[in-house]
A and B are shown apart, each in its own frame.
Chain A
Amino acid sequence: SQKIEQNSEALNIQEGKTATLTCNYTNYSPAYLQWYRQDPGRGPVFLLLIRENEKEKRKERLKVTFDTTLKQSLFHITASQPADSATYLCARTIGGSQGNLIFGKGTKLSVKP
């Protein structure tokens, strides 16, 4: 079965540093990997989507990579701010671009001032 693993439950960094979160998947490469932000008691908010044939995708201070050899996606937040503190979820699609999503458990990021 396809799985998504975010092995770090929590990550604490200092303001201004780059946060790097890891997402690993099993079995065959998904067509898409997606990253969401979830604040406590709230639903996830879509951040970025990266396709299998894309190595990197950027959006403002966010960068996502997709390495099909390592079966891994990295999510970077540069110049991190306390407002970036949240849980970040990685998700893979199954069954194509409009398929269902399988989520990882998330990594809780805390950015200290």
Chain B
Amino acid sequence: GAVVSQHPSRVICKSGTSVKIECRSLDFQATTMFWYRQFPKQSLMLMATSNEGSKATYEQGVEKDKFLINHASLTLSTLTVTSAHPEDSSFYICSARAAGGHRTDTQYFGPGTRLTVL
């Protein structure tokens, strides 16, 4: 139980293009979804927190106009990296907190999306 999927798993794009990453909770409804970024040998860094139907809360230093988050339903959140540049290349991971039926005191993580910007 408590499965979170991400799509795509890998994406390579040209500099200046936009990339959308989907995060879905497959067997539970998520009150809150989180987006993280992880550089090699570094911690997961929280980028933003989103609740269904409301605007995302971004961490300090994360540009909300560059990283657009849409949390359209209790099972789907999307992250769009707009006008991507090589420095945006990273491992993007989403997580979800269950509304019920599973532990609500932890987060369930997706498998991650490897973004490479050429």
Query: Which residues of A are interface residues toward B (Cβ below 8 A)?
Result: 4, 9, 32, 34, 36, 41-46, 49, 89, 97-98, 100-106
Contact = CB atoms under 8 A, between A and B. Distances in A.
Interface string B95-118: 101000001111111111010000
Contact of B112 (A43, A46, A100): A43
Nearest to B45: A103
Contact of A103 (B44, B110, B112, B114): B44
Interface string B1-42: 000101000000000000000000000000010100000011
14 contacts: A4-B43, A9-B41, A42-B111, A43-B4, A43-B109, A43-B110, A43-B112, A44-B93, A46-B109, A49-B105, A97-B105, A98-B104, A100-B49, A101-B46
Contacts of A98: 32, 97, 104-105
Of A44, A45, A97, A98, most buried by chain B (CB within 10 Å of CB) is: A44
Interface residues of B, number: 26
Given A34-B106, A43-B110, A98-B104, A105 B43 contact: yes
A97 to B, nearest CB: 5
Given A98-B97, A100-B34, A43 B46 contact: no
Given A98-B104, A100-B34, A42 B43 contact: no
Contacts of B34: 100-101
